[in-house]
A and B are shown apart, each in its own frame.
Chain A
């Protein structure tokens, strides 16, 4: 990808931080922070000022250094492992551990929740910070304090409910309640809504605004610019480990933020494509699936869908509407039991009852959870790319090193995987590049129909654009793509035709011309009305 150097230079002049009009008191100041990992300069002279009582958004592409910076502020990277200083309340922070930062009231909630699933909400909230009387845990105090905290975050669950038994949205609230139990002054949230559905995200953002009223300062790391526009007071943009600028939210729009993040104007977030759609090549009929553990719980009800050559078909729906379950059950029965229904390819019924058969019938499924289901993280890029089609680089079961290497280099170039070498371990890549490796693996398996499940989740704007470009190239080459996404703008921007799923059923189908977010939501709501009436 060609970088637009002029656009970069036009915004490299640091704008002075705009005043945010809340409080002039700076609660956190990051001054000249630089941090190097072996071989990589992660942060380079970063400066950020956070005012007391504001919601300060931190944005940037994956790998821009947001998480590293927050790990320094919260003491995960101890004092001395970086240069520059962090001031909290005007004092230099010399945190050795997270405990030190928590003592002054800086609490970080990581993207991956740190709750123990088989302990209760109350036990989790006071884990490491137990209410103790005479050397014994004081359960009365623990539970009553927990109730208080749950009230504050608006979570209506009993204190002794196991964390395992509540959804991700509620778990996120438990994390926040846990933070509140520690007299928080500065709350840092790393992608808090990444795995939440719309309504849970909404509730969480409301909560942040409420905290603001109570004088709690928050730093919000997020890729979702609409959320930032909604709640943030000021926005700091990081790019390539450097703080580019701090903007006043009142005076900027999304395009301005994106420009700062990628260093170039991204006029259209979805690349143009002239559809060239052929005959139906893949069709699923009367598909029914039951829950893998609970025999009588039906997850997918009589679903029918198809996709044509050169077409991108979207499946929209809320979290838990059964889209991933549908896709995985079709892909070699990798989800569920008591599966019934038929799969047709080019008009003929095909057997996709095992993953191998599905792959042999030119079907591929790119998972939504690349770290758990997509990559062997400890293996290098090369080995990950060839994993689903080792036959193509081997003869009589013997792998040809040369063929394998060339295949990996080929995909590295085609998909623009940024890495020091294809021998780099997948674990060290950024999210966007990991996603490209997973895509490479499936492209190398040479499918005709690709199911992409949330292919852009948790990756930055620039990498998203690249993924969309790859999708366009694939359909231009005559492949058919099924795109599962929770982001409606993405569905609308990329797909030719859209299915809407809810509660395990296909509840709507529409052409993308004339489709809108409102229309899709209306299809979802329609079913719920029906259920209420029934």
Chain B
């Protein structure tokens, strides 16, 4: 086939309105996040984007973001996991029992906790995938079981504190062996700046290469101005946030963990056969099965992966609060599931993106943080968050119907 006919075929039939609607659907939540941030930045008189607060925002939401990535896969596969909050509590309790009570080295504890998370996820995944028990029931049971087990492990007490190195997972910052830069009276954290410049360069190189590839194969590309604007905006946002963080203590360790997870899982979902098959399985399990896809194994893997990420979130959580409490992680599953849906995933499965879920988590996080600064009571915070979830999903359904 000639490439000329290819380009003709791809570009026809798509009007400006289509493009606009598609990008609105694609960037809708990102725009909403920016608007929400703008609103709180204004109402809090600039407190929201202060370096300290931004750092807090990242630390506060890290465990939700980590779990939202796993939950995205579970929801795309057409299931749900209600047990993640309890698994966070359970792994935290396990870490405390091992390291604080029994003095086991923190590195062994971390490995053990992650393995336990994988086992927990595998056990639930086995029930869902191979025994064909509905995920809602399996993970509802898991929610009770692991909450109970964390109470047992901790015997109802809070256990802490953890060694300093262990706490570094969450509350630590990227070390700065390089000399600081002075900028407008701030000591800037050089390593973070170098890292972020590298990231921006990487984004620029990857975007350019993708665009060249698209043009080489005569795929439809967005107008050059749009593309450049988008790339510059993304780079600008990253550099600005880096500047804010660098003027405090630089990148938190957990930000790097999140960044790596987001990149890996975004790649997994977009570019690999495993990701593609999970979407197909969520979109139509029967057709996927008849296409030779091992749907049971994939379902099993998504739950196993969820268990692993919930355990990681559990470690980040105890490290941040420096003690394990029996009720830690209660109702986290609701925040995580809400984040995924706000991020545009479909409750029917087959639709959703990792980036969307992360944005969804930050929409919730910024609202929590902003309303707390404004002194909105926890009662009204819940009401507002509930309504935002409803509105976000309505927006999505409405868009799809017009579609």
Question: In the complex, A388→B291 CA distance in Å?
Answer: 5
Q: Is B182 positioned at the interface, with any CB of A under 8 Å from its CB?
A: no
Beta-carbon contact of A378 and B294 below 8 Å: no
Q: Is A374 positioned at the interface, with any CB of B under 8 Å from its CB?
A: yes
Contact pick for A356, options B6, B272, B280, B292, CB 8 Å: B292
Most buried by B among A358, A374, A378, A401: A378
Question: Known contacts A388-B291, A388-B292, A413-B1; is A397 also within 8 Å of B9 by CB?
Answer: no
Residues of B within 8 A of A359 (CB): 292
Q: Is B15 positioned at the interface, with any CB of A under 8 Å from its CB?
A: yes
Q: Is A409 positioned at the interface, with any CB of B under 8 Å from its CB?
A: yes
Shortest Cβ distance from A332 into B: residue? B292
Contact pick for B284, options A38, A376, A410, A420, CB 8 Å: A376
Question: In the complex, A388→B402 CA distance in Å?
Answer: 30
Q: Is B248 positioned at the interface, with any CB of A under 8 Å from its CB?
A: no
Question: In the complex, A379→B294 CA distance in Å?
Answer: 19
Q: Is B351 positioned at the interface, with any CB of A under 8 Å from its CB?
A: yes
Shortest Cβ distance from A328 into B: residue? B290
Beta-carbon contact of B350 and A406 below 8 Å: no
Beta-carbon contact of B350 and A379 below 8 Å: yes
Q: Is B341 positioned at the interface, with any CB of A under 8 Å from its CB?
A: no
Shortest Cβ distance from B273 into A: residue? A390
Q: Chain B, 339-377, contact with A by CB distance < 8 Å: what is the 0/1 string?
A: 000000000001100000000000000000000000000
Question: In the complex, A420→B15 CA distance in Å?
Answer: 11
Beta-carbon contact of B279 and A379 below 8 Å: yes
Q: Chain A, 410-446, contact with B by CB distance < 8 Å: what is the 0/1 string?
A: 1011000000111110000000000000000100010
Contact pick for B291, options A394, A402, A409, A441, CB 8 Å: A441
Residues of B within 8 A of A68 (CB): none
Beta-carbon contact of B276 and A410 below 8 Å: no
Of A77-85, A140-148, A240-248, A365-373, the one touching chain B = A365-373
A-B contacts, 24 of them at CB < 8 A, read A39-B13, A39-B15, A355-B289, A355-B292, A372-B286, A373-B286, A373-B287, A376-B283, A377-B283, A378-B283, A378-B351, A379-B280, A379-B350, A383-B279, A383-B280, A388-B291, A394-B272, A397-B273, A398-B273, A402-B216, A405-B6, A409-B6, A421-B10, A445-B292
Q: Is A375 positioned at the interface, with any CB of B under 8 Å from its CB?
A: yes
Residues of B within 8 A of A372 (CB): 284, 286-287
Beta-carbon contact of A376 and B271 below 8 Å: no
Q: Is A387 positioned at the interface, with any CB of B under 8 Å from its CB?
A: yes
Residues of A within 8 A of B14 (CB): 420-421
Question: In the complex, A401→B210 CA distance in Å?
Answer: 10
Query: How many A residues are at the interface, by size bracket?
Result: 35 or more
Residues of A within 8 A of B263 (CB): none
Beta-carbon contact of B274 and A397 below 8 Å: yes
Residues of B within 8 A of A275 (CB): none
Shortest Cβ distance from B346 into A: residue? A378
Q: Is B240 positioned at the interface, with any CB of A under 8 Å from its CB?
A: no
Q: Chain A, 315-327, contact with B by CB distance < 8 Å: what is the 0/1 string?
A: 0000000000000
Question: In the complex, A355→B13 CA distance in Å?
Answer: 37
Q: Considering the complex of A and B, which 5 residue pairs feature the smallest CB-CB distances, nearest first?
A: A420-B13, A376-B283, A388-B291, A390-B273, A355-B292
Residues of A within 8 A of B10 (CB): 405, 409, 421-423
Question: In the complex, A80→B261 CA distance in Å?
Answer: 51
Contact pick for B272, options A378, A397, A421, CB 8 Å: A397
Beta-carbon contact of B6 and A406 below 8 Å: yes
Most buried by A among B272, B280, B284, B403: B284
Most buried by A among B272, B276, B289: B276
Beta-carbon contact of A398 and B292 below 8 Å: no
Q: How far is the CB of A67 from chain B (nearest CB, A)?
A: 19
Beta-carbon contact of A379 and B286 below 8 Å: no
Question: In the complex, A304→B328 CA distance in Å?
Answer: 63
Q: Is B222 positioned at the interface, with any CB of A under 8 Å from its CB?
A: no
Question: Known contacts A376-B288, A421-B12; is A410 also within 8 Å of B280 by CB?
Answer: no
Question: In the complex, A365→B6 CA distance in Å?
Answer: 29
Residues of B within 8 A of A423 (CB): 10
Q: How far is the CB of A414 from chain B (nearest CB, A)?
A: 9
Q: How far is the CB of A373 from chain B (nearest CB, A)?
A: 5
Question: Known contacts A355-B292, A397-B272, A420-B14; is A390 also within 8 Å of B277 by CB?
Answer: yes
Q: Is A489 positioned at the interface, with any CB of B under 8 Å from its CB?
A: no
Beta-carbon contact of B287 and A378 below 8 Å: no
Residues of A within 8 A of B274 (CB): 397
Beta-carbon contact of A367 and B280 below 8 Å: no
Question: Known contacts A39-B15, A401-B213, A420-B13; is A355 also within 8 Å of B280 by CB?
Answer: no
Question: In the complex, A377→B287 CA distance in Å?
Answer: 10
Residues of B within 8 A of A469 (CB): none
Residues of B within 8 A of A399 (CB): 271-273, 276
Contact pick for B276, options A332, A355, A377, A383, CB 8 Å: A383
Most buried by A among B10, B18, B289: B10
Shortest Cβ distance from A401 into B: residue? B213
Chain A contact residues, CB within 8 Å of chain B: 38-39, 331-332, 334, 355-356, 358-359, 365, 367, 372-379, 383, 387-388, 390-391, 394, 397-399, 401-402, 405-406, 409-410, 412-413, 420-424, 441, 445
Query: How many B residues are at the interface, by size bracket?
Result: 35 or more
Q: Is B219 positioned at the interface, with any CB of A under 8 Å from its CB?
A: yes
Q: How far is the CB of B263 from chain A (nearest CB, A)?
A: 14
Instruction: Give 10 A-B pairs besides A331-B290, A387-B280, A401-B219 with Cβ atoms closer than 8 angstroms.
Output: A334-B290, A355-B292, A373-B290, A376-B350, A378-B351, A397-B273, A402-B219, A405-B10, A406-B6, A423-B10
Residues of B within 8 A of A405 (CB): 6, 10, 217, 219
Question: In the complex, A424→B277 CA distance in Å?
Answer: 19
Q: Chain B, 248-291, contact with A by CB distance < 8 Å: what is the 0/1 string?
A: 00000000000000000000000111101101100110111111
Q: How far is the CB of A334 from chain B (nearest CB, A)?
A: 6
Q: How far is the CB of B95 from chain A (nearest CB, A)?
A: 33
Question: In the complex, A413→B2 CA distance in Å?
Answer: 11
Beta-carbon contact of B273 and A375 below 8 Å: no
Beta-carbon contact of B290 and A365 below 8 Å: yes
Shortest Cβ distance from A414 into B: residue? B1
Question: In the complex, A388→B277 CA distance in Å?
Answer: 10
Q: How far is the CB of A367 from chain B (nearest CB, A)?
A: 6
Contact pick for B9, options A401, A422, A441, CB 8 Å: A422
Beta-carbon contact of A378 and B350 below 8 Å: yes
Most buried by B among A376, A394, A413, A423: A376
Beta-carbon contact of B272 and A334 below 8 Å: no
Question: In the complex, A372→B15 CA distance in Å?
Answer: 31
Beta-carbon contact of A412 and B402 below 8 Å: no
Residues of A within 8 A of B403 (CB): 38
Beta-carbon contact of A402 and B217 below 8 Å: yes
Beta-carbon contact of A375 and B287 below 8 Å: yes
Most buried by B among A391, A399, A445: A399
Beta-carbon contact of A38 and B402 below 8 Å: yes
Residues of B within 8 A of A38 (CB): 402-403
Contact pick for B289, options A334, A401, A421, CB 8 Å: A334
Question: In the complex, A183→B9 CA distance in Å?
Answer: 51
Q: Chain B, 2-36, contact with A by CB distance < 8 Å: what is the 0/1 string?
A: 00011001101111001000000000000000000
Question: In the complex, A383→B351 CA distance in Å?
Answer: 13
Question: In the complex, A399→B9 CA distance in Å?
Answer: 22
Residues of A within 8 A of B9 (CB): 409, 412, 421-422
Beta-carbon contact of B294 and A356 below 8 Å: yes
Question: In the complex, A445→B293 CA distance in Å?
Answer: 13
Beta-carbon contact of A391 and B213 below 8 Å: no
Q: How far is the CB of A40 from chain B (nearest CB, A)?
A: 10
Q: How far is the CB of A482 from chain B (nearest CB, A)?
A: 16
Beta-carbon contact of B1 and A387 below 8 Å: no
Residues of B within 8 A of A39 (CB): 13, 15, 18
Question: In the complex, A399→B279 CA distance in Å?
Answer: 14
Shortest Cβ distance from A393 into B: residue? B273
Question: In the complex, A402→B276 CA distance in Å?
Answer: 15
Shortest Cβ distance from B351 into A: residue? A378
Question: In the complex, A401→B350 CA distance in Å?
Answer: 19
Q: How far is the CB of A220 from chain B (nearest CB, A)?
A: 31
Residues of B within 8 A of A388 (CB): 291-292
